[in-house]
Amino acid sequence: MEGKEEDVRLGANRYTERQPIGTAAQGAEEKDYREPPAAPLFEAEELTSWSFYRAGIAEFVATFLFLYISILTVMGVNKSSSKCATVGIQGIAWSFGGMIFALVYCTAGISGGHINPAVTFGLFLARKLSLTRAVFYMVMQCLGAICGAGVVKGFQQTLYMGSGGGANAVNPGYTKGDGLGAEIVGTFVLVYTVFSATDAKRNARDSHVPILAPLPIGFAVFLVHLATIPITGTGINPARSLGAAIVYNRSHAWHDHWIFWVGPFIGAALAAIYHVVVIRAIPFKSRD
C-alpha cells in the first residue's frame, strides 16, 4: 500500500503548471496581456480608410437583418389568436437573442459587432473607439433598423399596422418610471456583458473567450427580453426602437419614446463606468 500511495503522489506532482491560474495569475509579476491604448477622440484619417466605411456598412446590414428577423417573429406571434400556437414570448426572446449571437459572430471582426447605439455609446465612453466612428456607427445602425422594419411592413402591411409594428411602449399597469428603470437595468446587463466578453485580460488568459464572446452577449439579450417584454416590449437598443416607431408612424408610437433612448444610454454609461473604474480599475493603475 505504501508503494501505491507513493505512485499516486508522484503522479499528481509529475507535471507542474506551466503558467499560474486563478488567483495565482492575478499575483503574477508580469502581465500576460497588453492593455489596448485609448482611442483618440477624433481621428480624421479614418475618413479616408475603406475599412471605416466597410465597418459602417456591416453595422447597417447587421441591424437591418436584426430588425427584419425579430420584427417578423413578433408579427407571427401577434397574428395568431392563441399564443399556444406560436413561439410566444420565449420565442420572441430567442429571436432577438439568437440574432444578436449570430450577427455579433459575423461582424465582430469587421466592425466589432455593436448593432446597437447603446453598445457603441458605452464603448465610446470607455475609449474603445473614436467619436467619429461612434457617430458613424449610430447613424448606420438607425438607418439599418428603419430599412429592416420597412421591409417587414412591405411584406405584411395590414398585420404590421394592426399589431403595433413591434414598436416599444410602456405597457398598461406600468409607469414611465418603471419603463425607464427596466431599460436602464436591461441595457446595463447587456453592455456589462459586452465589456466582460471582450475584455483584453480575459482574452489573453483564456484562448476560448474570443470565440465564445457572441454567445454570452446573445444570451444576455435573450434573458433581458424574457424579463422586460411585459414592461416595455424590451428596447435596450435605441436603433431598434427608432426603426419600429418611424415605420409604424403612429402618434402613440412616439409617446414616451424618449425612454428608449435615455434609458439605454444611461444603462450603457453605468456599465462603462462600472467596468472601467471598478472591475478593471484602469484610472488607478498608474498609482500601483
Euclidean distance between CA atoms 48 and 66, whole angstroms: 28
Residue 174 falls inside a structural domain: yes
Residue 14 falls inside a structural domain: no
Q: What domain count does the chain have?
A: 1
φ and ψ at 257, to 5 degrees? -65, -25
DSSP 104-144: HHHHTTTT----SHHHHHHHHHTTSS-HHHHHHHHHHHHHH
- pLDDT at residue 254, as a whole number: 74
C-alpha cell at 91: 420565442
User: What percentage of the chain's residues is helix, strand, coil (to nearest 5)?
Assistant: 75, 0, 25
List pLDDT tens digits, range 51-105: 999 999 999 999 999 999 999 999 888 777 666 667 788 999 999 999 999 999 9
Q: 184 CB contacts (<8 Å, ≥6 apart)? A: 263, 264, 266, 267, 270
The CATH number of residue 107's host domain is: 1.20.1080.10
Name the amino acid, one letter, at 63. T
Q: What is the mean pLDDT of the chain?
A: 85
Q: Give the containing element (helix H, strand E) for 114.
A: none
Residue 287 falls inside a structural domain: no
Residue whose C-alpha cell is 433598423: 145
- pLDDT at residue 282, as a whole number: 74
What range does the domain containing 113 cover?
A: 46-278
Residue 32 falls inside a structural domain: no
List pLDDT tens digits, range 97-116: 999 999 999 999 999 999 99
Residue 201 falls inside a structural domain: yes
Q: Give the containing element (helix H, strand E) for 170.
A: none
Top-confidence residue, 149 or 286: 149
DSSP-derived letter for residue 235 is -
Q: Which residues of 130-155 are buried (b: 16+ CB within 10 A; e: fewer)?
A: bebbbebbbebbbbbbbbbbbebbee
pLDDT at 23 over 50: no
Top-confidence residue, 27 or 211: 211
Average pLDDT over residues 217-222: 97
Residue 5 falls inside a structural domain: no
Residue 61 falls inside a structural domain: yes
Residue 86 falls inside a structural domain: yes
List pLDDT tens digits, range 140-188: 999 999 999 999 999 888 888 887 888 999 999 999 999 999 999 999 9
